[in-house]
Structure 1
Amino acid sequence: MTGLVFSARIGSHVSVADVVAKAELAEHAGFDQVWTGNDFLGEPGLVSLAAIASRTDRIRFGCGVVDPVTLHPGQIAMFASGLQELSGGRFIVGVGAGSDVFYAKAGITPPSGPVARTRDAVVAIKELSAGRSPARVPGAGPGWTDLAVPRYAHEVEVYVGAMGPQMLRVAGRYADGALPLCLPPRHVFSAMKEISTGAADKGRDIADIDIAACVWASIADDRDEARRAMAHQIALYSGSLPAAVLAEHGLDPDEFAHTQRLLDTEGVDAAIASVTDGMLGLGIVGGVDDVIAQCSELIEAGARHISFGPPIGADPLHALGLIGTTVLPELRRLADS
């Protein structure tokens, strides 16, 4: 893989139309990729993807991520092939383990652990989308027969949504790309090490794997507005972030625990007010110059793909346009200079 890649994670709790509008704006603003959500009992990502395929011309797009528990790998490969054909080869399928918490709401028990089921799905989907049966292919999982050859196949790249070391190594061994959630942004370099280990296991070159630094980002013309949007995001998730990861990157777990207590006892406004400047380092935040400076540090340290995700900004549509028209051209210019 060569050059820089910039993507936007445009999932929405509003509507399919909102997701498609963001995709159209991202294409116009110069992004290379957009990613939607597809959580079980969440937004209807597959519907959004079909609409994006029809309403855009250039931008690559993917689902981040589908799970192989509520949707069989054979079905994922079928949908992926259809979206690949519909879009003229612009689709990317993102695969992840899914959430056992969400599965439990429907009484679903996954057939294997998160790492095994993700690996099996990645290998099987790659074989099926290429028109081959996964039977007897190492890593494709049990149960496939020689008759499992799709009647309709269009080859598609497969990315893995990963956080833990074992899942990141799966991405390195088998996938075309990885979507590690990088909180804080510099966590991408820890992820790269694990992916590189997995790639080496299979004799692969990590340069051929697209590793997206999936960061939280908040940009606005008014720095204080951008900071408040990021503080709101941090407040909502402060209790869900692993203390060990926070400490590893110089963040204070006690500050995040305090914010979570305030969220639980006094509400979101009190929690937002407790977010310190240090805690804001969990994402990329500020005005145009601030965001350029923070992204430049990642690129200079070796990141080749930055994926901007929620909250994006207090006004997500405006923020997407601001990133695309002011931040991305400057980052590309700096990389070329």
Structure 2
Amino acid sequence: MPPPPTDRTRVRRGVWMFPGIVAGALVDAVVAAEEYGLDEVWIADEGVARDPVPVLAAAAGRTSTIRLATGITSPVLRHPGAIAASAATLDELSGGRAVVGLGVGGELTLGPFGLGSDRPVALLRDAVDVIRAVHRGTAVPGYAPPSHATPPREVPMWIGARGPQLVRLAARVADGLFLSGCSPGQHESIIDNASSVGSVATAIYQTAVDRPTSPGELDWDDAHRMLVDAADRFAPASIGLNLVQLSTPGTDPVPLVERAAGLLGDV
């Protein structure tokens, strides 16, 4: 069963951003998110779009409290060792605010290269093992720490997933489960599935647009109501809004961040 309701004042609030606008504007959006009182920001890794790690690294120098997460990056496209090193470097630059968001990746990320995976659970399990080993300075099959490796540091790792096997994997090996664009019914089913393996923190993010065109999108008011309900029913570690409008070049992200922060402040 889902966890009991908890004090919503302790739930982190944030935004997820599509990296479809110029990098400097994305950095400004992260800075604005902190100024508007948000606790975390996730930037997607969509392959050949703007790279989230340099953007987050640039934002690290202009912020002091907000958590900086890749949301998500794929070991199909990036070697787990490179993911680990990038995350450790970002964590060092930001004073311990980095989060690794890990997942298989979708068509926008992998399609241009003709990539995919027919063993997603094994892929992510092995990637988690390598990333943890790099961050802890330990050896695992396929990795032996060299003398020039980054010093050990614990960087939280969250898995973005919906399918039953990947959700259970997240509950077993990750620090959290990132759920994005799901319906309330999906939330209950996914969280029950994760709970069958063990306790895992969840981040529930909903896509908010002015004119929804797909099942995963809601208008802003409906997205707000869904997050209020999700915060009460599922006691997530964090909640947020997906700013998919940033897939359109030239979009000003700061008003969207301000709008999201205003709604989330009432959740």
TM tier relative to shorter chain = 0.7 to 0.9
Query: Residue 190 of structure 2: SS of its match in structure 1?
Result: helix
* Partners of 1:9 and 1:134 in 2: CA distance: 32
Q: Is the 2:18–2:245 contact (alpha carbons within 8 Å) kept by the matching residues of 1?
A: no
The question of whether the paired residues in 2 share the 8 Å contact of 1:132 and 1:149 is answered with: no
- Counterpart in 1 of 2:243? 310
SS in 1 for 2:242: strand
Structure 1 residues 301, 216: CA separation in 2 closer, same or farther (over 3 Å shift)?
Answer: same
The match for 1:49 is: 56
1:78-117 superposed matches below 5 A: 78-99=85-106, 103=110, 105-106=112-113, 113-117=119-123
In structure 2, the residue corresponding to 1:309 is in which secondary structure? strand
Match of 1:24 among 15, 25, 31: 31
Q: TM-score under structure 2 normalisation?
A: 0.83
SS of 2:239's equivalent in the other structure is strand
- Determine the C-alpha separation between the residues in 1 that align with 2:254 and 2:228: 23
Tell me, which stretches of 5 or more residues in structure 2 are unaligned? 1-5
Task: Quote the offset at 1:109 in angstroms.
Answer: 6.8
TM-score by length of 1: 0.67
For residue 296 of structure 1, the aligned residue among 223, 228, 232 is: 228
Instruction: Label 1:9 to 1:107 Cα distance change in 2 as closer, same or farther (>3 A).
Output: closer
- Tell me whether 1:211 sits opposite 2:202 in the alignment: yes
Measured in 2, the distance between the counterparts of 1:152 and 1:66 equals 20
Structure 1 match to 2:186: 187
Which residue pairs with 1:160 in the alignment? Answer: 159
Whole-Å separation in 1 of the counterparts to 2:266 and 2:109: 41
Change (3 A) 1:104 1:291: closer
Q: Deviations over 1:171-203 (max 9, x none)?
A: 10100011122322442222211221232xxxx
List aligned pairs for 1:233-252, cutoff 5 A.
234=213, 238=214
Distance 1:194 1:80 in 2: 29
The DSSP-based 3-state class of the residue aligned with 1:58 is coil
Shift of 1:328: 3.2
Question: Is the Cα–Cα contact under 8 Å of residues 168 and 197 in structure 2 kept in the other structure?
Answer: yes
Structure 2 CA distance for aligned equivalents of residues 285 and 104 of structure 1: 28
Is residue 118 of structure 1 aligned with residue 124 of structure 2? Answer: yes
| 2:99 aligned counterpart, secondary structure | strand
In the other structure, the counterpart of 1:9 is 16
Structure having the higher helix fraction is: 1
CA deviations 1:28-82 (Å, max 9, x no partner) are: 1111110001122233122212112122111001001111122211111111111
Whole-angstrom CA distance in 1 between matches of 2:48 and 2:245: 23
Given that 1:168 and 1:198 are in contact with CA atoms closer than 8 Å, whether structure 2 keeps it comes out as no
Partner of 1:285: 219
Name which of 135, 138, 144 aligns with 1:129: 135
Tell me the secondary structure at the aligned position of residue 132 of structure 1.
coil
The answer (yes or no) to whether the contact 2:103–2:160 under 8 Å persists in 1 is yes
CA contact (8 A) 1:34 1:61 kept: yes
Contact 2:27-2:55 within 8 A present in 1 as well: yes
Change in 2 beyond 3 A, CA 1:53/1:103 = same
Residue by residue over 1:62-114, the C-alpha shift from the partner in whole angstroms, topping out at 9 and shown as x without a partner, is: 0011111222111111111111110000000111112478546435575x611
Matched to 2:20, the amino acid is H
Which residue identity does 2:58 align to in structure 1? A
Residue 130 (structure 1) shift: 1.7
Task: For 1:114 and 1:167, locate their aligned partners in 2 and report how far apart those are by CA, in whole Å.
Answer: 8
CA RMSD in angstroms, aligned pairs only: 2.7
Q: Return the letter of the residue paired with 2:178.
A: L
CA 1:105 to 1:329, structure 2 compared with 1: closer, same or farther past 3 Å?
closer
3-state DSSP class of the match of 2:58?
helix
**What SS does the aligned partner of 1:212 have?**
strand
Q: For 2:123 and 2:68, how far apart are their aligned partners in 1?
A: 24
Change in Cα spacing, 1:100 to 1:320, as seen in structure 2 (3 Å) is closer
Q: Deviations over 1:192-216 (max 9, x none)?
A: 11221232xxxxxx1xx33111211
Higher relative contact order (CA 8 A, sep 6+): 2
